[in-house]
Amino acid sequence: MRKYALLLMLVIITCATTVYAAENKETCLTCHEKMTPGVVRVWSSSAHAEQGVLCGDCHGNEYGRDHGEGGKRIVVEAYICARCHSEAAKEHFIGKHGIGFRAGHACTRNLRPTPEIRAGCSDCHEKGSALPRQDAECARFLAQTPEMQRQGCLSCHKIEVRCDACHTSHDTDLAIVRDPAVCGTCHMGPDHPQYEMWKTSRHGVLFDLKGRGYSPDCMTCHMPEGTHNVSTGISMGLFGQKYPDEVRAAEREKMMEICNRCHSKSFATVNLDDGDAIQKQSRALVDEAASIIRGLEEEGLLMPSPAERPEHPLVGQKLELGPQMIYEDLSGVEAIFFRMKKYYYIITYKGVFHQNPDYAHWYGNAPLKLALSEIRSEAMKLREIKRLKDRLDNLSEIRLQGLSPSGNNEESLKMDIRILLEEHLKGDMSEDEYEMRRKELLDKLGL
């Protein structure tokens, strides 16, 4: 896999270099000192400026003075930066941040978790082609408007191919990119608040008070020795998926080595093992909830049922509770489940691994279990309503079977109207047919 990525990158780098060449510095700055002074100011005091890396070296020189608005002048960073920063790029593409590169400019979730499966051609290439894939297979992405895709998804999920997702554009100050707050611009929020967890943990507090190096920050554990492979030391998938035993053991060993700088092996082992156990325990609660919902679906109790909903972008009118679950057009219990799985489960075990008891317990474990209670309770209620409906259907059958056929006297006609209404309310009769037949009966009654 590593070899493969290296090869692919070499091809890219070679192609890219031929396209771009030296630029005429004056041409750009003349205008941009007025147009975008902030950019020029930042670049001017950067290591790039110092080393003579000019605008066109990255943006290309194929644009004249009149390149106008909206031209394709955006640097697709990873390709361009890699010409000089090849080692960092190499590491980036191997780790989780770079995975999406192999599935095109789309969500990292598109790829399946194990190293073995990752090696499949279609994970990286368009079918029957050496070109990298460009299509998204993320239902959650596909369910959004283009505007929300841009602002809500791709603002972070550009990491695969954009170095400036972490490294601020034009600035080369490493103090910026090494600061945990930069990681936090994506690794925050209800779905995975790793930044907040760390920041408010003892590790984060000590970092703030005593400075970098005193206690671990994001890089210490996830980019040790400055590697750009951010998967180093992580021993399970993004959602706690199991890694092959040997991969898992090797990565855990790397993490343990970092913990041991300050903590005894026995202390670190208890804490990391607790994280593993809590991930499994929490996952079991999520699985129980999923199985309740699947049960409700089989009994036809979801409101609306998948058949009554707009199509899911990938699976159509079917129930989807797996990685491709979306948050649109769900029934009430599924909405609870979504939060349970995507927010509380993740927070619970990541809270433990980031040594934050408040996240593990009060932002994670408690709402996770409350949500499970709510799903169980709601299932009971939906079944109770269904049971009433079944009894009513049955009782109405008993009743209606026993009734004499229609006559033309007033009592008999009134009874017919009621029977008609019952059939309509039961759903045995369309609105139109009901209205027509009711009108007939009312006419007979002279009303």
312 forms beta bridges with 316
According to the binding rule CB under 8 A, does residue 65 interact with a copy of itself?
no
Could you give the CA distance from residue 369 to residue 345 in angstroms, rounded to a whole number?
A: 10
Nearest to 61 by CA among 113, 24, 102, 100: 24
According to the binding rule CB under 8 A, does residue 365 interact with a copy of itself?
yes
Could you give the CA distance from residue 38 to residue 402 in angstroms, rounded to a whole number?
A: 86
According to the binding rule CB under 8 A, does residue 148 interact with a copy of itself?
yes
According to the binding rule CB under 8 A, does residue 174 interact with a copy of itself?
no
According to the binding rule CB under 8 A, does residue 235 interact with a copy of itself?
no
Contacting residue, 357, 406, 435, 440, with a copy of itself by CB under 8 A: 357
Q: Which residues contact 58 (CB under 8 A, 6 or more apart)?
A: 20, 75, 80, 81
In the chain, the amino acid numbered 426 is K
Q: How many CA atoms lie within 13 A of 18 on its CB side?
A: 5
Burial level of 419, CB count in 10 A (0-12/13-18/19+)? middle
Q: Map residue 312 onto helix, strand or coil.
A: strand
Nearer to a copy of itself, 12 or 368 (CB): 368
Q: How far is the CB of 218 from a copy of itself (least distance, A)?
A: 13
According to the binding rule CB under 8 A, does residue 397 interact with a copy of itself?
yes
Nearer to a copy of itself, 45 or 241 (CB): 45
Contacting residue, 126, 422, 441, 444, with a copy of itself by CB under 8 A: 422
Residue count, binding to a copy of itself (CB under 8 A): 120
According to the binding rule CB under 8 A, does residue 430 interact with a copy of itself?
no
Q: Map residue 423 onto helix, strand or coil.
A: helix
Q: Which residues contact 307 (CB under 8 A, 6 or more apart)?
A: 317
- The answer to whether 89 and 228 have CB atoms below 8 angstroms apart is yes
Contacting residue, 300, 387, 409, 433, with a copy of itself by CB under 8 A: 387
Contacting residue, 281, 406, 409, 430, with a copy of itself by CB under 8 A: 281
Contacting residue, 112, 263, 437, 444, with a copy of itself by CB under 8 A: 263
According to the binding rule CB under 8 A, does residue 112 interact with a copy of itself?
no
Of residues 35 through 64, those in contact with a copy of itself by CB under 8 A are 35-39, 42
According to the binding rule CB under 8 A, does residue 380 interact with a copy of itself?
yes
Contacting residue, 62, 126, 320, 329, with a copy of itself by CB under 8 A: 329
According to the binding rule CB under 8 A, does residue 447 interact with a copy of itself?
no
- The answer to whether 332 and 378 have CB atoms below 8 angstroms apart is yes
According to the binding rule CB under 8 A, does residue 369 interact with a copy of itself?
yes
| Residue span binding a copy of itself (CB under 8 A) among the ranges 13-21, 49-57, 385-393, 436-444 | 385-393
**Orientation of helix 2-19 relative to helix 86-94, angle to 10°:** 140
Of residues 177 through 216, those in contact with a copy of itself by CB under 8 A are 179, 181-182, 184-186, 188-191, 195, 200-202, 205-206, 208-210, 214
According to the binding rule CB under 8 A, does residue 361 interact with a copy of itself?
yes
Q: Which residues of 124-149 are buried (b: 16+ CB within 10 A; e: fewer)?
A: bbeeeeeebbeebbbbbbbbbeeeeb
